[in-house]
Structures are given as structure tokens and as C-alpha cells.
Structure 1
Amino acid sequence: MYLNTPDEIDHERAHHQAVIQGCDDVDVKRIGNLGELAFEQFCREYLPVEMWEWENETAIRRCNSESFSGHDFEVFGYKIDVKTSRDVSAFRPANILANDPDDDIIVMVWHRDNEDALILLGWERTETLKSKVTTQEAYSGEEPAKLAHLAARPMNELHDLGPNTAHLNQKPENPFTPGDRVVKAGDEDGSVAVVVEVLPPEKNTTAYGQEMDGEAVNVAFPNMLDEGPGNWREIHPAKLASYCDDQDIKLYTYKHTNLEVAENPFTPGDYVIKPDYDDPDLAVVLTVAKEKDDDRNINIAFLHHLEGEVGDNAYMSPTDLESFCDESGIKSYSYNYAELCFEHQF
């Protein structure tokens, strides 16, 4: 068996993709997506990346509708469908075949009630399941005990279907996650960017006409995100790839080793608090000084002051915030960036 613990990004993407898909039962689709994410992690740890392909990888990463492929993965040339359920009786041979008789192999994934852990129970060839069902139907009366079990081969036997290969752990080395604020490594005057997508390590891409040797990260710059139709700071980072894809917001690709976490991550429009206060008020960044050594390099205005002028839930482009505050007589306050922290609103 193989245990996978999905993180917050996995949960958000699995759910939002199910919503975008327009499923009749969003819960079932979300759980199915989590099962695919769990099997993808198994493949990454135990199978050569050149010999498996996840059909729905881009759809789930960008929360787009799936192409309705007849199977979820192709491994060593076999079509594999991943079945995820809390009820293990769903994995009895007859139940599996009633829902999916056409794929080569079925992988069975059990999940906990709160979906915080998924266990890959095993896998089986569809032809073997058909044989088991035929055998079961040949008996009348009480089913023999030797047939009253889940039909599943251990997960670690899946690699036996392919050529002999050494155990290869090909999990990403990339330290970044969507939503991280980064700058180009070694560039003291580099602009702050937002990580939108962390691409799988085998997805070699090109930058400036040359193949990139290493893991790629797609980032967007806040000023471009600000030009979108909504307040992207109120969107969960897991959904940023979907938002950028829908709105045709340009992404820039970097090798992950060419990026580093931004020392001063703030940009106009960010929601922040001063955490050393007992009950800090929510504020919005108005301007960020270019000189990092300034004692007070971040100007902010408190959100309740802004809402008093423009109304609740009113969104204003970050480029207009400073001038609006000046014209409306809204007081601004200056702090050093180290005194502030994000107070995300997604």
C-alpha cells in the first residue's frame, strides 16, 4: 500500500476543478481528483517518468475541464483508471466492472472521511477482475471464503509490468509553491513576482529558444495581475494558474534555481497587518519604496478608512490607491517591511 497526504494546494485544486467541470456531485469528483493526485505521486516515486503519463495533469493544475479521456493514466502502455472511495466494497470485482469495464488496469484508492489521507490499496488487471466475477457467478448459495476479498495486487508490483529499472525517486526538488513571492536570484533591484505554477520536473521547457535544464517555475508580476477583472489577492494561490489561464495573463518561466524568496515581498494592494499589536487592524499597502534600507519603506492605509469612503467590498486598482487616499484625506502610515506580515483574504 502507498499513503499520500494531500496538501492545501491539492485540496483547493481538486475541488475547484470539480466545480469548473460542472459535475452533478462535486464531492465525488473532488475525491476522484485527489485519488489521481495520489497515484501521480506514487508514479513519481516508483516508475520512470518516461514510461507514464497523466492525462489530466494540466486540467487539474489549471483547474480546467477535463477532456473526458477514457482513462486517467497511461503506464508502460497500459490504460489505467483510478477509482477512489471511502467504501471498500466499491472495489469488489463486480462493482468495479459495473462502472469501468474497458480499461486495462484499475488502481484502487481508499480515503479517510475528512480526505486528509489517501491509501492506494492496490491494482488489478481488468481481465483478471472479469475472470473473478465469472468464477463467483459459477457458485450458488454462500460465496466461498477464498473469494470474499478485494481483488488487488500490491502497488509495488506495478513496476514489474515495465522493464527492469532501479528505484527512482523523481519527486520535485523545487522549494517553491503557488503564491510565494520571489525575485530573480542575485538581482538586488529585481521586481517581486508571484509563483503561479510549479511545473513537474520532467516537463522540460524552453526559455529564450533553449531547453531549460532543471525544474521550471511560472511566475506572474503583480502589476499584470492587477490589470485582470478581479482582485487576485482574494483568490487562493492554488487557483492562480486557472485565473491566469482564463484571463490570458502572461506568465514568465524561470529555472527554480534562478529564483529566491523575496526579502521584501510586498507590493501595492497587498493586505497586511502589524502582528505585534494585540488586535491589529487590516491594512492595504499603498506604496513600496525602492530603497530597501529605508526605515519606513512601506506606506499603508487601514481598510476600514478606505471602506468608509468607497463602501464595503469595493475594489480599487492598486495604482489608484495612493492618489485616492491623498484626495480623500485618508491618513497613511509608514513602516519598515520587516514590521508587517501578510493577512491573506482568500
Structure 2
Amino acid sequence: MYLYSPDKIDQERAHHQAVIQGSEDIDVKRIGNLGELAFEQFCREYLPVEMWEWKNEEAIRRCNPESFSGYDFEVFGYEIDVKTSRDVSAFRPANILKNDPDDDIIVMVWHRDKEDALILLGWERTETLKSKVKTQEEYSGEEPEKLAHLSARPMNELHDLGPNTAHLNQKPENPFAPGDRVVKTDDNNTSVAVVVEVLPPEKNKTAFGQTMDGEAVNVAFPEMLDDGPSDWRKISPAKLASYCDDQDIKLYTYKHTNLEQAKEPFALGDYVIKPDYDDPDLAVVVNIDKDEDRDIAVAFLHHLEETVSDDFYRVPNELQAYCDDHDISAYSYESSALELKPQY
């Protein structure tokens, strides 16, 4: 068996992709997505990366509808479908074959009620399941106990279907996650960027098709995100890739070793607080002047909201002018005194 615990990014992506897919049962589709994520992590740890393919990888990463495919993975040339359920009886041979008789292999994934942990119970060839169903149908009388359970092979036997290989752990070494604010390493004048996608290690190609020596990260710059139709700061980092894809916002690809976490991660329009206050008011960055000691100017959100009847939002590069026109006070602070306060 193999245990997988999805993080918040994976949980939100699994859910949002189910919504975008237009599924009749969003809960079932979300859980199915989590099962695929669990099996992908198993493959990454135990199987040679060049010998398996996840058909829905980009669709789930970008929360886009899946292109039609009769199965979820191809492993060593076998068509594999992942079945996820809280009810173990769903993995009885007849129940599986009722919905998926044509795939080569079925992988069975059980999940907790909270969907915070999934266990890969095992896998089985479809032909073996058909044989078991036939045996059950032909047997008259009370079914023996040995036929009542689902025969499933242990997960670690899946690699026996392929060539003889050593144990391979191909999990990403990338330290970044969507939403992180990053800058280019050893570049004092670089602009702050937002991590949108952390690409799988095997997808480390630049826009020009050249193989990158290291894992790739796709970033967007705040001023480009600001050109979109929404306040992207209120969008979960898990959905940023979907948002950028929908709005054709340009992404830039970097090798992850060429990036580092930004020590001063602020951009115009960011929501910030002064964390050393007991109950800090939420503020919005209206100006950045790196030549000044008190380099960040903010306006408090409750002052901005007093000028409008609905939720306040203005294009960030218009904030300073808006404050001037409406006599809204701005207050200056050192970057080190402020902290980002996400609003998603």
C-alpha cells in the first residue's frame, strides 16, 4: 500500500478542475482527481519517469477540462485507470468491470472522509477481474470466504511489469510553490515575480524547446497579472495557472536554481499588515520607492472603502493618483516592517 496526503494546493486544484469540467457530481470528480494525484506521486517514486505518462497532468495543474481519454495513465505501455472510493465495496470485481471493462489495469485508491489522506490499496489486471467475476457467477451456493474479498496485487509489484530498474525517487527537488514571491538569484535590481506553476521534472524545457539542466518554474510578473480582469490577489495560488491560461497572461520559465525567495516581496496593490500591532488594519500598497528608507507607502483599506459603495478595487498603478484625488492619507514604512496578508 502507498499513502498520499494532498496539500492545500492539490486539494484546491482537484476541486476547481472538477468545477471547470462541469461534472454532474463535483465531489466524485474531485475525489477522482485526488486519486490520480496519489498515483502520480507513486509513479514518481517507484517507476522510471520516461516509462509512464499521466494523461490529465496539465488539465489538473491548470484546472482545465480534460481532453477525452479512456484511461488516466499509460505505464509500460499498459492503459491504467485509477478508481477512488471511500466504500471498499466499490472495488469488488463486478462493480469495477461494470464501469471500466476495457482498460488493461485498475488501480484502487481508498480515501478518508476528510479527503486528507488516500491509500493505494493495490492494482489488478482487468482480465484477472473478469476471471474472478466468471468464477463467482458459476459457483452455486454460499460464496466461500476466499472469493469474497477483492484480489489486488501490492503496489510495489507494479514495476515488475516493466524492465528491471533500481528504485528511483524522482520527486521534484524544487523548493517553490504557486504564489511564492521570487527574484533572480544574485541580481539586486531584478523585479519580483509570482510563481504560477512548478513544472514536473520531466517537463523542463524552455519556450525554445531546449532541455533545461534543472527543474523549471513558470512565473508571472505582478504588473502583467494586474492587466487581467480580476484582482488576482484574491485568487488562490492553486488557481493562478488556470487564471493565467484563461486570460492569456504571459509566463516566463526559469530554472529553479536561478530563483530565490524575495526578501522584499511587495508590489503595487498588495494587501499588507504591520504585524507588530496587536490587531493590525489591512492596508494596500500604493507606492514603492526603493531610494527611500521608508520605501513602501500604503493606504488603509477601510479608508479606501469609505469612498465607494462596494468592495474597493482599482488598478494598482492608479492607486497613488486615486488617493491624491480623494484626499486619502498614505503612510510610509520600511519594507521589513510589513508583511503580505493574502486575501484569497
> How far 1:138 moved relative to its partner?
1.1
Moved more, 26-35 or 275-284: 275-284
Give me the whole-angstrom Cα distance separating, in 1, the residues matched to 2:208 and 2:50.
Answer: 25
RMSD over equivalenced CA pairs, Å:
0.9
> Which piece of structure 1 moves more, 333-342 or 189-198?
333-342
- The DSSP-based 3-state class of the residue aligned with 1:50 is helix
Superimposed CA distance per residue, residues 239-263 of structure 1 (whole angstroms, 9 cap, x where no aligned partner): 0000000000000000000001111
* Identity percentage of aligned residues: 79
Post-superposition offset of 1:191: 0.1
Shift of 1:199: 0.3
SS in 2 for 1:183: strand
Residue segments in structure 2 that go unaligned for 5+ positions in a row:
none
- Preserved contact between residue 304 and residue 312 of structure 2 (Cα < 8 Å): no
CA–CA separation in structure 2 for the residues paired with 1:209 and 1:298: 40
Give the secondary-structure state (helix, strand or coil) at the position aligned to 1:310.
coil
1:297 corresponds in structure 2 to 295
1:76 maps to 76
CA distance in 1, matches of 2:98, 2:271: 51
CA distance in 1, matches of 2:49, 2:245: 26
State the distance in 2 between where 1:345 and 1:321 align.
18
Shift of 1:276: 1.3
CA contact (8 A) 1:91 1:151 kept: no
Q: Output the CA distance in 2 between the equivalents of 1:151 and 1:209.
A: 45
Amino acid at match of 1:232: W
> Pairwise mapping of residues 142-161 of structure 1 onto structure 2 (< 5 A)?
142-161=142-161
SS of 1:156's equivalent in the other structure is: helix
Q: Which amino acid is the alignment partner of residue 71 of structure 1?
A: Y
- 1:165 has 2:165 as partner: yes
Residues of 2 paired with 1:15 and 1:128: CA distance?
A: 33
Partner Cα distance (1:304, 1:165) in 2: 61
Structure 2 CA distance, aligned partners of 1:142 and 1:152? 22
**Displacement of 1:8 after TM fit?**
0.4
Tell me which moved more, 280-289 or 73-82. Answer: 280-289
> Contact 1:104–1:127 (CA<8 Å) still a contact in 2?
yes
Q: 1:95 matched to which residue of 2? A: 95
Contact 1:272 1:283 in 2 (8 A): yes
2: CA distance between counterparts of 1:270 and 1:298? Answer: 11
Matched, 1:336 2:321: no
Task: Determine the C-alpha separation between the residues in 1 that align with 2:2 and 2:209.
Answer: 40
Deviation, structure 1 residue 208: 5.5
1:174–1:215 contact (8 Å) kept in structure 2: yes
1:307 alignment counterpart = 305
Helix, strand or coil at the partner of 2:201: coil
What is the distance in 2 between the residues matched to 1:154 and 1:192? 47
| Cα distance change, pair 308–34 in 1 and its aligned pair in 2 (3 A) | same
3-state DSSP of counterpart to 1:80? strand
- Of 270-279 and 306-315, more deviation after overlay is shown by 306-315
The one-letter code matched in structure 2 to 1:82 is V
Which residue number corresponds to residue 218 of structure 1? 218
Q: 2:199 maps to what in 1?
A: 199
Cα distance between partner residues in 2 of 1:40 and 1:210? 25
CA deviation vs aligned residue, 1:214-271 (integer Å, no higher than 9, x gap):
1000000000000001100000001000000000000000000000111100101011
Shift of 1:337: 1.3
Q: Which residue of 2 is the match for residue 5 of structure 1?
A: 5
- Measure how far apart 1:317 and its partner are: 0.2
Q: How far, CA to CA, are the matches of 2:25 and 2:341 in structure 1?
A: 33
AA at the equivalent of 1:181: R
Closer, same or farther: CA 5–209 of 1 in aligned 2, 3 Å: closer
Q: TM-score, normalised by structure 2?
A: 0.98
Distance 1:337 1:123 in 2: 53
Give the match for residue 248 of structure 2: 248
Offset at 1:206?
2.2
Residue aligned with 1:210, SS: coil
Provide, for residues 98-152 of structure 1, a one-character-per-residue CA deviation record: whole Å limited to 9, x for no partner.
1110100000000000000000000000000000000011112211111011221
Q: Describe the SS at the equivalent of 1:266.
A: coil
CA distance in 2, matches of 1:184, 1:138: 67
Query: For the Cα contact (< 8 Å) 1:181–1:262, is it kept in 2?
Result: yes
Asked if 1:113 is matched to 2:113, the reply is yes
Match of 1:67 in 2: 67
Deviation beyond 6 Å, 4+ runs, structure 1: none
SS in 2 for 1:171: coil
1:177-211: per-residue Cα shift (whole Å, max 9, x none)? 00000001110010000000000001120255632
1:336 CA displacement: 1.1
1:298-343 CA distance string (max 9 Å, x none)? 1100001001012331321000001110111101111111111111
Residues 189 and 48 (structure 1 numbering): CA distance in 2 closer, same or farther, change over 3 Å?
same
CA contact (8 A) 1:182 1:192 kept: yes
